[in-house]
Structure 1
Amino acid sequence: MPTELILIRHGESHANVEPTIGGMTGDIGLTDRGRGQAARLRSRLASEGFRADVLYASTLPRAQETAAYVAEAIGLPVTDDDELQELRPGVADGWSFAQWEATWPYPGEVLHRHPYVPMAEGGESWASFVVRAGAGLARLVERHPDRRVVAVCHGGVIEASFYLALGLGASGKRVGFAVENTSLTHWRYTVDDALPEWTLHRFNDVAHLEADEPDADRPAVPIPGAEDEQPG
């Protein structure tokens, strides 16, 4: 039986729209729109009878706030996990992007062309972040074999899950995944002959946000873990 890892990006945050570098200092939580997104996700999880075995969340406020909606829907306590945090910005925490660009060498390229350069003094580089976040995700599936694990986290962590699953290093050209707020990404993890294998079953699922929009061109699809889905 595979271990299922379902990653949920937080709702729209103030750091997303202002824009501010949102570490523990700069992150002041969700916008009204972000809370509305999280409420729609909660309704979808509840209406589809979604079930899981454990619920984890990044300790950043925007993820904690989103996780509270998820916990209410699925009836599980939230376990905090610092390793699910977004890339740690060091002294740039709370800066505007304009301030960062004026202060740090080639800030617009640091995450794309210079993966080993820290985002700012005391912060992580893209490469060190991918290693840290990937190791954190690997620990979750190893800690809960044959279980369904939900983790409320960040776009960067979801990107890191692809690096982990595909066995990629962080030094090559970065691929942008454009992870949507409150989207669901669903991995299945199996170990066959002592070799791990990751299978992607769903990415960027935001059907709960599209259902009320006239331009939505696809129906809501049951989330893995809903009562009417067959296990396996």
Structure 2
Amino acid sequence: MTATQLLLVRHGTTDANVQVPYILQGSSIDLPLNDNGRRQAQQVAGFLADHPIKHVYSSPLQRAAETAGVIAGRHGLAVNQIAEITECHVGVWEGKDWDTIARETPEAYRLFHEDPAAHPYLGGESYSDVLRRAWPAFERLLHRHVGDTVVVVAHNIVNRVLCAHLMGLELRKAKGLAQDNCCVNIIQHADGKSTLVTMNSVFHLRG
């Protein structure tokens, strides 16, 4: 059977991604790409220009949809949005930095960092919650587009959780996986099995 290839991309940089101190940008802060993020989107689109991409999907959030639109434009494709791959809901911690969170809600902070799969962002989702909604959507795409190359533009936590699951890692360890802005993860699906063959590739962003 011909393999299906899914190219899982993280969106380009927004102002929140580079704010100092770093703040949590979940599903409620819906910022567009900044200038660097738009440059990154062009770079990843150029990198993928020679791939035989048939379909492009994204989260509904601006930063993902804008990145996906640049990629899709190189192939004359429309972007289809999937709500299930929107970024993790980080609850009352949205827009706050980790030092503030640790000071204001120390016990919830401790539990989350011990095991984010079991303990959610306060008032939001855990990694397990994200996997429960994102994985079925991921599988539907694989079964819908057998033998095709498909691009999916999503988010830091969503991508980490999916990659951890594909590697068979304990989900709590997903927080240790790198997902740089506009990185590419390559997933091959054949004979009923999905394999993560490349993770967090960013060679196209150099120079």
Shorter-chain TM band: 0.7 to 0.9
Unaligned runs of 5+ in 2: none
Q: CA RMSD in A?
A: 2.2
| CA-CA distance at 1:112 after TM superposition | 4.2
Q: For residues 3-35 of structure 1, give each alpha carbon's deviation from its aligned partner in whole angstroms, at most 9, with x where no partner exists.
A: 111101111122212233223432312222111
Verify the 8 A CA contact 1:84 1:153 in the aligned structure 2: yes
Unaligned runs of 5+ in 1: 213-232
Task: Establish whether residue 84 from structure 1 lines up as the match of residue 85 from structure 2.
Answer: yes
| CA-CA distance at 1:109 after TM superposition | 5.1
Verify the 8 A CA contact 2:42 2:70 in the aligned structure 1: yes
More helix as a share of residues: 2
Task: Establish whether residue 120 from structure 1 lines up as the match of residue 102 from structure 2.
Answer: no
Task: Establish whether residue 202 from structure 1 lines up as the match of residue 203 from structure 2.
Answer: no
Q: 1 CA distance for matches of 2:144 and 2:113?
A: 30
Aligned counterpart, 2:39: 36
| SS of residue paired to 2:89 | coil
Verify the 8 A CA contact 2:27 2:90 in the aligned structure 1: no
Q: 2 CA distance for matches of 1:208 and 1:173?
A: 27
Q: 2 CA distance for matches of 1:166 and 1:31?
A: 32
Q: For residues 119-169 of structure 1, give each alpha carbon's deviation from its aligned partner in whole angstroms, at most 9, with x where no partner exists.
A: 021x10122222322222122212222222110111222222223323445
Verify the 8 A CA contact 2:27 2:86 in the aligned structure 1: no
Q: Given the superposition, is the C-alpha separation of residues 174 and 101 from structure 1 closer, same or farther in structure 2, using an over 3 Å criterion?
A: same
Q: 1 CA distance for matches of 2:84 and 2:93?
A: 19
- Normalising by structure 1, we get a TM-score of 0.77
Instruction: Find the structure with the greater CA-based Rg.
Output: 1
Give the paired residue count.
203
Q: 2 CA distance for matches of 1:185 and 1:203?
A: 4
Matching residue's letter, 1:21? L
- Normalising by structure 2, we get a TM-score of 0.85
